[in-house]
């Protein structure tokens, strides 16, 4: 099955009642090579001024090349954002997956402003539209044995994710996925809030003791990839992303524990290849 045939751009699927499940698929296949990949369609919605369509490294078809300059935090240029077609709130679940390729020599660490690099991000707001923080998956400090960190800024409690063997592998395509169920009460306390994080289809962390909304009337209307390099990039460099999917419709795939996740042909450990053809 060709995974790219599943969805191009935005799909809305009717469910029982007035609720709509939706899927955003950014496969970066349709844009002209070398042009900006943050104009909607099969790319980012915005905030990706240095993101361009490329075929230099791809998971399948074409991909996006993300560039950041030495010393720059990259806001509005590094990575990109996705605007949701409908708001999601308490009780809703979203899956967010991205394929990444960090070339050999890429330095993906932050060396100031907290020393962690923002990675997968989902923004939350109050019912009046005020900022209530991000559900954030970070690349951890260069001197920390944990590969990653997770936090909901509305609660400001860090959670370790992964071990040294889960660190980003340079020169390989990898997949990262975060599933978030929104609630202001953690699952452990009788609520619905929980988070799953996978790498290459293998579960790294299941978080059930943190809330994912500040109040039960909060909502989310966008997700971001990178978008701000804490402390500035240590050098001018580029990496690649492909097959980004965000969906509120329960996907067809399952992990080893039987938990629903977006299917990925990248296994753990991934194959040592430069181009991954998805069949």
Task: Determine contact, residues 48/80, Cβ cutoff 8 Å.
Answer: yes
Task: Determine contact, residues 276/3, Cβ cutoff 8 Å.
Answer: no
Residue 158's pLDDT is 96
Q: Which class is 23-261 in CATH?
A: mainly beta
CA distances from 204 to 148, 199, 243, 244 (A): 10, 7, 21, 19
How far separated are the first and last CA of the chain, in Å rounded?
Answer: 5
Residue 20's pLDDT is 84
Nearest one of 114, 197, 196 to 156, comparing CA atoms: 114
Give, for all 279 residues of the chain, the pLDDT tens digit: 233 333 434 555 444 334 589 999 999 999 999 999 999 999 999 999 999 999 999 999 999 999 999 999 999 999 999 999 999 999 999 999 999 999 999 999 999 999 999 999 999 999 999 999 999 999 999 988 899 999 999 998 999 999 999 999 999 999 999 999 999 999 999 999 999 999 999 999 999 999 999 999 999 999 999 999 999 999 999 999 999 999 999 999 999 999 999 998 886 544 333 344 333
Residue 36's pLDDT is 98
* Distance, CA of 66 to CA of 56 (rounded, Å): 12
Specify which residues 52 forms β-bridges with: 36, 65
CA distances from 213 to 88, 150, 156 (A): 11, 14, 11
Residues sharing a CB contact under 8 Å with residue 87, sequence separation 6 or more, in sequence order: 219, 220, 221
**Side-chain half-sphere exposure of 58, counting CA atoms within 13 A:** 17
pTM of the model: 0.90
Angle at 76 between CA 183 and CA 138, to 5 degrees: 45
């Amino acid at each position: 099955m060709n995974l790219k045939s599943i969805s191009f751009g935005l799909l809305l699927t009717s469910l029982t009642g007035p609720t709509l499940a939706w899927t955003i698929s950014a496969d970066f296949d349709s844009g002209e090579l070398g042009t900006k990949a943050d104009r909607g369609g099969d790319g980012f919605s915005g905030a990706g001024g240095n993101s361009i369509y490329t075929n230099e490294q791809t998971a399948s078809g074409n991909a996006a090349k993300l560039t950041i300059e030495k010393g720059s935090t990259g806001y509005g240029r590094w990575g990109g954002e996705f605007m949701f077609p409908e708001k999601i709130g308490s009780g809703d679940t979203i899956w967010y997956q991205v394929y990444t390729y960090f070339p050999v020599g890429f330095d993906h660490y932050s060396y100031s402003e907290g020393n962690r690099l923002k990675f997968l991000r989902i923004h939350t707001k109050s019912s009046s539209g005020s900022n209530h923080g991000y559900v954030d998956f970070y690349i951890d400090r260069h001197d920390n044995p944990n590969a990653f960190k997770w936090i909901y800024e509305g609660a400001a409690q860090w959670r370790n994710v992964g071990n040294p063997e889960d660190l980003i592998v340079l020169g390989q395509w990898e997949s990262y996925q975060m599933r978030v169920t929104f609630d202001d009460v953690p699952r452990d306390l009788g609520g619905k809030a929980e988070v799953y994080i996978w790498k290459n289809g293998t579960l790294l962390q299941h978080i059930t003791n943190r809330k994912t909304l500040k109040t039960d009337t909060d909502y989310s209307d966008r997700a971001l990839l990178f978008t701000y390099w804490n402390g500035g990039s240590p050098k001018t460099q580029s990496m690649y992303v492909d097959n980004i999917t965000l969906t509120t419709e329960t996907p067809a795939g399952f992990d080893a524990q039987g938990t629903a996740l977006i299917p990925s042909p990248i296994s753990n450990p991934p194959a040592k290849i430069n181009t991954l053809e998805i069949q």
